[in-house]
């Protein structure tokens, strides 16, 4: 066999790297490692872990262009529990695999869930101790203002696809705050139960989903009326959820039974469950709708689910107390 030249080998390596980049990267918060894992989803391996300049980050979001990751530094406690109170957010260059910027909120706020506005490109971060969502210019890393939630422990945030409304899951109060994102005010606070967790929104913006932490049921909010419209019984208490791109299914992590529930959004019933490693937390569906990823915190793994067969195809070792997930598109 003829030997390839060094130039040819270099070109092949570059093409392979480009191919991986086109497929994007999976970002995984490693809570107990105090770092962010950058995962090659094609190889199913962690490329590197980037240390964070803080105690620990629970959640992560990628910039729309896939270049940067934003990780709020929450602290070492659980929601409403004693512990350190974070006041910064680090910015990580995914290609360079290093921290390239920091946002300082000026005082302890326990920043948690970052999400980009779908229309204006601004970055919104839940700031629990201030009972607000903070607005940040991701280009200058300047704080532009905030939106009051009217409730403590506003832990997670979802934003409608038209960018007009936001919804926070307020854990301890067991409520959801409905926000006017442009007017920067709370429209309504919706009672759910004595405790709720996580939040997501349907692809058509018709429904908002959160999980009752006192019973094994999904709460479905009608966004036109801003009231609870339905309760969906599940095989266990729910946590993180994510809809499929076609709007047909909602995947919900069930930590207490180590499963993922698949909710049929046409019938609003649990259609099936999928066994996953211990203590699933967050669910993420790839942009092409073919694969779901589930962070399994007690197993230190991410489960990869094929959405055609509804089976776990492999598990990826992703660091201590694997938690928040995000997808960074290829360059």
| Residue (of 140, 135, 136, 97) closest to 328 by Cα position | 97
Q: Which two tokens stand for residue 162?
A: 């038209």
Q: Which long-range contacts (CB under 8 A, 24 or more apart) does 161-167 make?
A: 161/118, 161/201, 161/203, 161/205, 162/118, 162/119, 162/205, 163/117, 163/118, 163/119, 163/120, 165/205, 165/223, 166/124, 166/133, 167/199, 167/201, 167/208, 167/221
Q: How far is CA 246 from CA 44, 176, 211, 274, 288, in A?
A: 25, 25, 22, 20, 10
Q: Which two tokens stand for residue 39?
A: 């995962």
DSSP SS3 for 213: coil
Per-residue pLDDT of the chain (331 residues; tens, 9 = 90+): 444 454 444 444 444 444 434 579 999 999 999 999 999 999 999 999 999 976 789 999 999 999 999 999 999 989 999 999 999 999 999 999 999 999 999 999 999 999 999 999 999 999 999 999 999 999 999 999 999 999 999 999 999 999 999 999 999 999 999 999 999 999 999 999 999 999 999 999 999 999 999 999 999 999 999 999 999 999 999 999 999 999 999 999 999 999 999 999 999 999 999 999 999 999 999 999 999 999 999 999 999 999 999 999 999 999 999 999 999 999 7
What per-residue confidence (pLDDT) applies to 17? 43
Average pLDDT value over all residues in the chain = 93
Q: Which two tokens stand for residue 192?
A: 């759910």
φ, ψ for residue 328, nearest 5 deg? -105, 120
What per-residue confidence (pLDDT) applies to 12? 40
Which residues neighbour 18 within 8 Å (Cβ) at sequence distance 6 or greater? none
What per-residue confidence (pLDDT) applies to 21? 46
End-to-end CA distance of the chain: 34
| Per-residue pLDDT tens over the stretch 14-28 | 444 444 345 799 999
What per-residue confidence (pLDDT) applies to 147? 98
Beta pairing partners, 147: 133
Q: Which two tokens stand for residue 136?
A: 């940040």
DSSP SS3 for 143: strand
What per-residue confidence (pLDDT) applies to 22? 55
Q: Are the CB atoms for 168 and 149 separated by under 8 Å?
A: yes
What per-residue confidence (pLDDT) applies to 14? 42
Q: Are the CB atoms for 165 and 180 separated by under 8 Å?
A: yes
CA atoms within 13 A on the CB side of 229: 12
CA-derived radius of gyration, the chain: 19
Cα 155 off chain centre by: 12
The 10 Å Cβ neighbour count of residue 98 is: 11
What per-residue confidence (pLDDT) applies to 19? 44
β-pair type (123-127, 111-116): antiparallel
């Amino acid at each position: 066999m003829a030997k390839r030249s060094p130039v040819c080998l270099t070109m092949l390596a570059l093409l392979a790297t480009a191919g991986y980049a086109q497929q994007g990267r999976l970002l995984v918060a490693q809570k107990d490692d105090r770092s962010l894992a950058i995962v090659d989803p094609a190889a199913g391996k962690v490329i590197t872990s980037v240390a964070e300049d803080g105690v620990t980050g629970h959640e992560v979001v990628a910039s729309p262009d896939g270049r940067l990751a934003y990780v709020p530094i929450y602290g070492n406690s659980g929601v409403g529990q004693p512990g350190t109170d974070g006041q910064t957010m680090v910015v990580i260059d995914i290609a360079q695999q290093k921290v390239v910027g920091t946002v300082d909120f000026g005082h302890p706020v326990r920043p948690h869930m970052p999400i980009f506005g779908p229309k204006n490109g601004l970055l919104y971060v839940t700031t629990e101790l201030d009972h607000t969502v903070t607005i940040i210019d991701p280009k200058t890393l300047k704080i532009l203002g905030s939106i009051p939630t009217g409730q403590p422990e506003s832990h997670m945030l979802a934003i409608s696809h038209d960018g007009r409304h936001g919804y926070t899951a307020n854990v301890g109060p067991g409520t959801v705050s409905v926000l006017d994102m442009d007017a920067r005010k709370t429209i309504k606070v919706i009672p759910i139960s004595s405790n709720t967790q996580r939040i997501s929104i349907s692809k058509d913006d018709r429904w908002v989903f959160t999980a009752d932490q006192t019973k094994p049921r999904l709460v479905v909010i009608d966004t036109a009326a801003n009231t609870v419209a339905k309760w969906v019984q599940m095989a266990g208490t729910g946590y993180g959820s994510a809809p499929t791109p076609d709007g047909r299914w909602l995947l919900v992590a069930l930590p207490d039974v180590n499963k993922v529930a698949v909710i049929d959004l046409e019938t609003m019933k649990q259609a099936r469950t999928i066994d996953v490693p211990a203590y699933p937390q967050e669910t993420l569906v790839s942009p092409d709708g073919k694969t779901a990823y589930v962070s399994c915190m007690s197993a230190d793994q991410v489960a990869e689910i094929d959405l055609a067969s509804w089976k776990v195809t492999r598990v990826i070792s992703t660091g201590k107390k694997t938690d928040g997930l995000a997808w960074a598109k290829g360059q």
